[in-house]
Structure 1
Amino acid sequence: MQPIQKNPDLSAYLAADEVIDHHHPVVRQTAARLAEGAADSYDYARAAFEFVRDEIPHALDSGDPRITWRASDVIALRTGICCAKAHALAALLRAEDIPTALCYQKLDVVHGLVAVRFHGAWHRQDPRGNKPGVDARFRLDGEQLAFVPDPAAGERDYPELYDAPHPAVVEALRAAADVPSLWRTYPAAL
């Protein structure tokens, strides 16, 4: 899949907003702690990915009913579904000036991931969280995502790289009272 950068202005993929709130103290403190042990921006990006993947449980896997959508809340509360975890990773990466896009797959529902820009190219990463049958890794030499869409089942990768979270995803997350109620309004496709 060849990614399509929706915004030609690369600085848009460093911006903060209400969802990717990388200026929030919780995000800044976490970024600073992760940066302490990093030798370079690649090492930092890998550490941030592993932090979100491994230290913030996926709400469905952990049974946590709380909904998070803002990056700082995902990090502070240590819970989120895939899109919320992608928001947290995007904020941590942008906090250290690493251009980061939001991207999506259509599985049973919309699945969120990120793409980081290194060496003049975008590289998709999936911080969803590993479990039996899911082994996502931070890689620049190919993708090792949580899921590979099955076109025969109507699944697909969306090629667009967004500078901000998709409004349909944010709207559903903001409106849900808890994870079980989320699935009544969460988008099945974009």
Structure 2
Amino acid sequence: MGYRLSKIYTRTGDKGETGLGDGRRVPKDHPRIEAIGEVDSLNSQLGVLLAGLSEAGLEELIEVLAPCQHRLFDLGGELAMPSYQALKLAEVERLEAVIDLWNEELGPLENFIMPSGSMLVAQAHVCRSLARSAERRCQALNALEPLQGVGLAYINRLSDLLFVAARIVGRRQGVAEVLWQPASKPQG
């Protein structure tokens, strides 16, 4: 894709519409634009996580998660240009393999955990929750305009990976998981 932006503002969206890659103009609150926006938000927060991982020297996690930023950009392209297919099943399988590997190291989860413990653990959970939000937006779009390819599977697996990544970050940092404490039962 040899596109360059020579001008950042175009004024074409001033009336509440935006253009898609196939030439259509849609309202800025169209489900397709909502999905693109959620994927973009996730990608931005993943960038924050990656910066923190770099500062912490957690290269193993960077090697796994950095390519996900590029694949999220690909997913955004697929959403903006409905006939464009960039994501491959191999990417979904790559995430599954890492989830399996890390889960084996972690062992079974015995209780609900809080998105807490360290800044990096919490940021991984922010990314996980944004991945779930992006998945919901993509599913809403899929109900209106069926999506092709593996994008839905990819975003689903990515949210799973980010949950496991949060746990691995805590383990690498030596931070105990913060377990859910249910409200006490009312006396009566």
Q: Normalised by the size of structure 2, how large is the TM-score?
A: 0.31
Bigger strand share: 1
Bigger helix share: 2
Bigger radius of gyration: 2
